[in-house]
Amino acid sequence: MKVLIVDDNDIMRDVLRTFLEQLKHEVLGEEENGDAAIRSFAALRPDLVLLDMVMPGRSGLEALDEIRKLDPAAKVVVITAVEQEGLDRKIYEKGAAAILRKPFSCEELEKALAGLV
């Protein structure tokens, strides 16, 4: 899969890139905020977006909404440390394919991605 990584933390982006490369996926780009995520999604049209929820500027939830407006079939996995039932419901209502909780292992990421096919 061709993937866009969006997270405001450099270390998390590095971890995600390493895991994705181990799983034989191609990283098309990396962004650190929601506005850049929307621009990159429109330009790159990745198969998947790994999207952090809490970022400066436009939140992951807002970016998810805009990405799904650009492409209602877009596959987005939200990555968050926040665990709230109400937030999870909103994330799924906005069209996320899955939620991955921080911290996670390469195996957990692989399982989340396998559920997308």
Segment 67-110, tens digit of pLDDT: 999 999 999 999 999 888 888 999 999 999 999 999 999 999 99
Listed residue (16, 69, 19) closest to 41, CA to CA: 69
Amino acid at 13: R
Q: Look up residue 15 and give its two tokens.
A: 């971890």
Contact 88, 99 (CB under 8 A): yes
Q: Spell out the domains of the chain, with CATH numbers in brackets.
A: 2-109 (3.40.50.2300)
Tokens found for residue 32? 């650190």
pTM metric for this prediction? 0.95
